[in-house]
Amino acid sequence: MDKEYKTVLNHAVYEIEEKKSRFIASVKPVSTEDEALQFINDLKSKYWDATHNVYAYHIGGTNVIQRFSDDGEPSGTAGLPVLEVIKRMEVRNLAVVVTRYFGGTLLGASGLIRAYSRSASLGIEAAQIVTKKLCKEITVILDYTLLGKVQSLLLSKGFPIKDTVYEQDVKIIVFIPEDEVESFISLITETTNAKATMEMGQKTYITLDLQGKIIL
């Protein structure tokens, strides 16, 4: 599992116009090729009357699956530029479909490449680029007298807090990057004079915005 990677958060649609041709970029996060193909087929049905439904998708880290289609546009002017935008923006696990309604004016090869690239780029931005970071979920169990001290520590270090549960003791559930788990345990032990206990949870990918803030 990769320590982190970039993808998109939402399904988004963004439309531009180029010499009276409409370019509609539809972007969706996907985790499998089947999901990507379903998304593409749904849009082909939705925009059945379009001149072209160009697409590209990129899935996976170690075993990469990437495909593209010009859907009738001149070879290399549509699907490949969309895939190149995906790679240039360093995002994965997404599918991009750019639907074109021809406006009557030929754009030429360079014009098509620019239009499809711009449409894909704006569509991906509209879908909100996020970072997926591999973390360990750790529950810190401590006495109420230590709560303020530990909360201040977690905030100062920027460790994302999933939840705080107030029972007989306080349970603070935090996400810790996998390669920082040992140092985190040492830090909590030192800060609380070994009066806190910690329970290890599962590994999970958390979602961070471009400012590094967690999106729950």
Answer with the residue of higher pLDDT: 71 or 216.
71
Confidence tier at 112 by pLDDT (50, 70, 90): very high
pLDDT at res. 182: 93
pTM confidence score: 0.85
Q: Which residues of 18-53 are buried (b: 16+ CB within 10 A; e: fewer)?
A: beebbbbbbbbbbeeeebbeebbeebeeebeebbbb
Separation CA 187–CA 46 (nearest Å): 55
Nearest to residue 140, comparing CAs of 98, 175, 180?
175
pLDDT tens across 147-177, in order?
Answer: 999 999 998 888 888 899 999 999 999 999 9
pLDDT at res. 212: 77
With a cut of 80, say whether residue 51 has pLDDT above it: yes
Fold of 134-215: Alpha-Beta Plaits (3.30.70)
pLDDT at res. 84: 97
pLDDT above 70 covers what percent of the chain?
100
| Pick among 3.40.50.12780, 3.30.230.30, 3.30.420.10, 3.30.360.10: CATH of 4-127 | 3.30.230.30
Confidence tier at 104 by pLDDT (50, 70, 90): confident
- Strands of the sheet with 21-29, listed across from one edge: 12-18, 21-29, 94-101, 52-59, 65-69
- Strands 94-101, 21-29: pairing is antiparallel
With a cut of 80, say whether residue 46 has pLDDT above it: yes
Confidence tier at 216 by pLDDT (50, 70, 90): low
Q: Note the Cα 196 to chain centre separation in Å.
A: 35
Indicate the domain borders of the chain: 4-127, 134-215
Give start and end residues of each alpha helix (H) in 63-103: 79-88
pLDDT tens across 180-215, in order?
Answer: 999 999 999 999 999 999 999 999 999 988 877 888
Q: Cα-flanking dihedrals φ and ψ of residue 3, to 5°?
A: -65, -35
Q: In the predicted model, what is the mean pLDDT of the chain?
A: 93
User: What average pLDDT does range 135-158 have in this prediction?
Assistant: 92
pLDDT at res. 121: 97
